[in-house]
Amino acid sequence: MRGGLLICLCGLVLAATLISPAAQAEILDRIVATVNGEIITMKEINQRLVPVLKRSRVEDPEKINEIRRKILERLIENKLVLQEGKHLGVRIKGTEVDDAIERIKQANRVNQEQFEAELIRRGSNIQTVREDLRVELIKSKLINREIRSRIVVSAEQIDAYYREQGDKRELKPKVHVRNIVLAVPEEAPPSVVAKKQAWAEEILAEIKDGLDFAEAAAKYSEGSNAKDGGDLGLVGWDEMDNRIKAALEKLEPGQTTPPVRTAMGIQLFYLVERLDQDEEAVAKAKEKIRELLTRRMLKKKYIEWLEGLRSKALIKINF
C-alpha cells in the first residue's frame, strides 16, 4: 500500500505511546492544553507520535519534542474545527466516513482486511482513522461553506498569470494541414523523381477540378495517415521544414500547395486553417491556472480563518 495517501487523507493517526512504563504513571495523562475548556493530554500527543517517528526515524530528543509541538498545534486546530462545526451545525454521517474509507481502499487497491492490517502495522487502527477522517470531512465542509464560496478568481488575474508564467509554446502560431505523400527514396534516380512529380501534378489537377483533398489523400497518398485523409493536425509553424513553410505561407485556408520535394518524397499540402495560438491548449492552461490560483487563495484564506478562530478562543498551553 502506498503510505503517502493514507497519511495525507488521515493525518497523524493514533498509535502506541513511546513513554516508558515508569514515566507513564506520572505524565501520560498530563493536560498540556485546553481549547475553550476541552482538554488535550500528553497521552494524545504521544499516541500520535509513533507513526511520525516510524516514517522519519528521528532520534534526537529536541527534534522529537519539536514534532510533539507540531502535533499539539494540529490537535488544537482539530479542536477549533470541531467546535466551529458544532457551532454552525455541520454534521458528518457515518456513511460519509464509510465512503471516504472506501475511496482510500480503492486508491490503494486493497480490501478491508488488508487495509486494517496496514493500519496496525503503522501503529494505528480503523477507529482512529474514522475519527481523523471525520475531522477532515468537517473541515472540508467548513472550508466550502465559509471560505471557498467567497473566493473569486477573475479573468484578469488568470490572464496576468498566464502572460507572466504560462507556457509560451501555446502562443506560437500553428497551422492545421493535410498532406499527400508520394514516397521517393533520397537516392532515387532523376527518372523516378520525375515520374512521382508528374503523378503529384496529376493529383493536384484532380483536386483543382473538385476532388476533395481528404478523399485524394485516402486514394493516392502513401503516407501512414492516408486513411485519415492525410490529416496532420496542428503543427507548430516554427517546427516545420522551411520548404514546406515556403509553400504554405502564401496560401489561404482551403488551398493546396504545388508539389513539394521533402525528405519523405513528393508531397502536396492542404491548409485547413491558421491559428495565431492554440486556443484549445490556451483554454486548458488557463483552467489549470484558475485551479492553481484558487488553491493558493484557499490556503491563504483558510489560515486567516483559522487565526480568527484562535483569536476568539480561550487556549491555554502547558507543554
> What DSSP designation does 313 have?
S
Residue 283 has pLDDT above 90, yes or no: no
Distances, alpha carbon 263 to alpha carbons 49, 111, 188, in Å: 66, 56, 12
Contacts of 73 (CB under 8 A, 6+ apart): none
Q: In this predicted structure, what is the pLDDT of residue 15?
A: 34
Q: State how far the Cα of 94 lies from the Cα of 102, in Å rounded to an integer.
A: 12
Q: In this predicted structure, what is the pLDDT of residue 11?
A: 38
Residue 176 phi/psi, 5-degree rounding, is -100, 120
Annotate 113-169 with DSSP letters as a single string. HHHHHHHHHTT--HHHHHHHHHHHHHHHHHHHHHTGGG----HHHHHHHHHHHS-GG
pTM flag (> 0.85): no
**Mean pLDDT on 211-216:** 95
Binned at pLDDT 50, 70 and 90, residue 23 comes out as very low
- Greater confidence (61 vs 186) lies with 61
Contacts of 2 (CB under 8 A, 6+ apart): 108
Give SS3 for 173: coil
**Average pLDDT taken over every residue of the chain:** 85
Q: Which segment, 6-10, 120-124, 298-302, is predicted with the most confidence on average?
A: 298-302
Residue 291 has pLDDT above 60, yes or no: yes
Q: In this predicted structure, what is the pLDDT of residue 278?
A: 62
147, three cell numbers: 471560505
- pLDDT single digits (tens) 137-195: 999 999 988 888 888 899 999 888 887 876 555 557 888 999 999 999 888 898 999 99
Residue type, 226: A
Stretch (H or E) spanning 229: none
CA 317 to chain centre: 39
Binned at pLDDT 50, 70 and 90, residue 103 comes out as very high
The least confident of 44-53, 246-255, 278-287 is 278-287
Q: Vertex 101, ends 95 and 103: CA angle to 5°?
A: 105
Q: In this predicted structure, what is the pLDDT of residue 9?
A: 39
Residue 284 has pLDDT above 90, yes or no: no
Binned at pLDDT 50, 70 and 90, residue 255 comes out as very high
Contacts of 81 (CB under 8 A, 6+ apart): 135, 138, 139, 142, 309
Output the CATH code of domain 3-146.
Answer: 1.10.4030.10
Residue type, 129: V
Q: In this predicted structure, what is the pLDDT of residue 308?
A: 94
Contacts of 37 (CB under 8 A, 6+ apart): 314
- List the chain domain ranges: 3-146, 149-171+278-314, 173-275
- pLDDT single digits (tens) 293-313: 999 999 999 999 999 999 999
Domains 3-146 and 173-275 share a fold: no
Give SS3 for 183: strand
Query: Is there a contact between 196 and 184 (Cβ–Cβ < 8 Å)?
Result: yes
Instruction: Choose among 220, 50, 41, 27: nearest CA to 124.
Output: 50
Instruction: Choose among 53, 282, 268, 24: nearest CA to 162.
Output: 282
**Mean pLDDT on 204-208:** 95
Q: In this predicted structure, what is the pLDDT of residue 17?
A: 36
Q: State how far the Cα of 250 lies from the Cα of 200, in Å rounded to an integer.
A: 19
User: For cell 502536396, what's the residue?
Assistant: 268
Instruction: Choose among 104, 92, 132: nearest CA to 11.
Output: 132
Query: Is there a contact between 178 and 269 (Cβ–Cβ < 8 Å)?
Result: yes
Question: Which CATH number fits the domain 173-275, given the four candidates 3.40.50.300, 3.40.1350.10, 3.30.2320.80, 3.10.50.40?
Answer: 3.10.50.40
**Mean pLDDT on 104-130:** 88
Give SS3 for 266: strand
Q: In this predicted structure, what is the pLDDT of residue 186?
A: 80
**Mean pLDDT on 271-295:** 82
